[in-house]
Amino acid sequence: MKKKQKRQQPVKKDEKPATLGDLLNQDIMQKLKAQQQELKEEEEKKKQADLQRKKEEQRLKEKNKSFEELLSESDIDWKKFK
């Protein structure tokens, strides 16, 4: 005859699983958060610089347009003013 094997039920823990923040030292966590903030600020500065550069390029492009280009882009019907 075979004996029935008793299976152990896993003990339920009310504790939450350990997170990375729990495992790391608080000093290391603060350094990582500071570095993350610096990277965000650097990315924001890059976006602002890129936007400023595009505005300047558009301004210079508009400044260097010929009279013909300005006239063709105008919505006014110049024939009425003859």
- The answer to whether the CB of 29 falls within 8 A of the CB of 19 is no
Helix (H) or strand (E) holding 5: none
Q: What is the pTM of this model?
A: 0.50
Domain ranges of the chain: 24-65
pLDDT tens column, 32-82: 999 999 999 999 999 999 999 999 999 998 888 888 888 788 877 767 776
pLDDT tens column, 23-37: 778 888 889 999 999
